[in-house]
């Protein structure tokens, strides 16, 4: 990890999932194979795009970055290329975590996808949801598990900041992140108890796989986990963000949380003792109200105004953000997000203004590119 201002600056990578929708209908369209084929033909080197579980979505992954402006440029670039490939096929890409319009999802071909469909039935079929996963480098698995143990209470605040899925099958779900409710149907999804050591983490993972309910380590869907492919911790709670600036904000806050947690571990500070059941309540509240109501404060697990809880998150990671050079950007973007609202609020405002979910999706497709 490179040095900046005398402190370690961790690398950050982002994985974003995007919906493919018809340009005129606004409804999800099963074009991922064609979009991916076109992207592969035009790629200079390895393509950034990958298939997802359903034919109606695709995913891209950025390179590991240390500077947030470089991450921002890459997110905008890949969103733009995805939009270009989709447009050539009469479709659009939209950074929404669920489809506002009714959808009939179809699962991709392949042995793994077929196994998931047969094993999990409607749970797998209905997983047409788009998230944003943030990878942050760690020096060792021991440090990584120490980070996982210490970021747990703060993850619900990240979900609240990213909420972008109020609609489901043409209806208002009454949630700001209905994606989080749908995703929570997987048996391994959600918060976990404190692990303590890397050895205990791996024992827990193996015990879950040994049940036979899960196919492999790739199905460890914890809110935060050690990546099984990279030397990173992977934070998985967020909806995909409509505005790419919010994706960069999310990545900055995650890096700040990881660095703050690692410093606390090195200083001998124990993780908070809240159990997974309480953390599940915090995640439910964040998914229900986003920034529009109360959230559970990560230090007390008592309800407080969302603005106060977000301020507490900023205070918690302020030193790490200052050391990485991200503090001014985070403060500016948080202020803008508070003023305009999350993607969930924007979608509802668009529907009130236009009276049309199709028009809402069309405007969100325009905003997806920033």
Topology classification of domain 11-368: Creatine Kinase; Chain A, domain 2 (3.30.590)
Sketch the domain layout of the chain as residue ranges. 11-368
Confidence (pTM): 0.96
Name 210's Cβ contacts closer than 8 Å, sequence gap at least 6.
none
Neighbours of 48 (CB within 10 A): 18
C-alpha 4/C-alpha 6 separation (Å) is 5
Both tokens of 183, joined, read: 């995703």
C-alpha 49/C-alpha 58 separation (Å) is 7
* Residue appearing with tokens 């409804």: 27
CA separation, residue 341 to residues 28, 227, 280, 338, 348 (Å) = 25, 31, 24, 5, 11
Question: Kind and range of the H or E element at 367?
Answer: helix 357-368
What are the pLDDT tens digits along the chain (370 aa)?
Answer: 544 444 568 999 999 999 999 999 999 999 999 999 998 888 777 788 988 889 999 999 999 999 999 999 999 999 999 999 999 999 999 999 999 999 988 898 889 989 999 999 999 999 999 999 999 999 999 999 999 999 999 999 999 999 999 999 999 999 999 999 999 999 999 999 999 999 999 999 999 999 999 999 999 999 999 999 999 999 999 999 999 999 999 999 999 999 999 999 999 999 999 999 999 999 999 999 999 999 999 999 999 999 999 999 999 999 999 999 999 999 999 999 999 999 999 999 999 999 999 999 999 999 998 7
């Amino acid at each position: 990890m490179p040095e900046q201002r005398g402190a370690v600056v961790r690398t950050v990578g982002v994985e974003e999932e995007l919906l493919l929708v018809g340009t005129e209908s606004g409804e999800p369209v099963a074009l991922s194979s064609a979009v991916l084929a076109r992207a592969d033909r035009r790629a200079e080197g390895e393509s950034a795009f990958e298939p997802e579980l359903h034919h109606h979505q695709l995913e891209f992954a950025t390179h590991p970055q240390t500077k947030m402006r470089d991450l921002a440029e890459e997110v905008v670039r890949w969103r733009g290329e995805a939009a270009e490939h989709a447009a050539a096929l009469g479709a659009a890409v939209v950074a929404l975590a669920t489809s506002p319009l009714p959808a009939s999802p179809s699962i991709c071909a392949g042995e793994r996808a077929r196994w998931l469909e047969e094993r999990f039935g409607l749970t797998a079929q209905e997983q047409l949801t788009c998230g944003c996963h943030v990878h942050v480098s760690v020096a060792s698995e021991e440090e990584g598990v120490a980070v996982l143990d210490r970021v747990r209470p703060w993850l619900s605040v990240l979900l609240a900041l990213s909420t972008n899925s109020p609609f489901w099958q043409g209806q208002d779900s009454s949630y700001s992140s209905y994606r989080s409710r749908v995703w929570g149907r997987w048996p391994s999804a959600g918060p976990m108890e404190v692990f303590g050591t890397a050895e205990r983490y791996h024992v827990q993972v193996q015990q879950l796989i040994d049940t036979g309910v899960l196919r492999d380590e790739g199905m460890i869907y914890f809110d935060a986990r050690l990546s099984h492919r990279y030397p990173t911790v992977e934070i998985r709670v967020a909806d995909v963000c409509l505005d790419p600036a919010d994706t960069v904000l999310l990545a900055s806050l995650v890096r700040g949380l990881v660095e703050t947690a690692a410093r606390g571990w090195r200083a001998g500070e124990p993780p908070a003792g809240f159990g997974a059941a309480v953390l599940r309540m915090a995640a439910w509240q964040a998914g229900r109200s986003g920034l529009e109501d109360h959230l559970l404060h990560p230090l007390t697990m008592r309800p407080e105004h969302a603005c106060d809880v977000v301020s507490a998150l900023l205070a918690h990671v302020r030193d790490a953000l200052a050391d990485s050079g991200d503090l001014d950007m985070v403060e500016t973007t948080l202020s803008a997000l508070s003023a305009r609202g999350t993607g969930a609020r924007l979608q509802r405002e668009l529907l009130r203004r236009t009276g049309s979910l199709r028009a809402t999706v069309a405007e969100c497709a325009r905003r997806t590119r920033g």
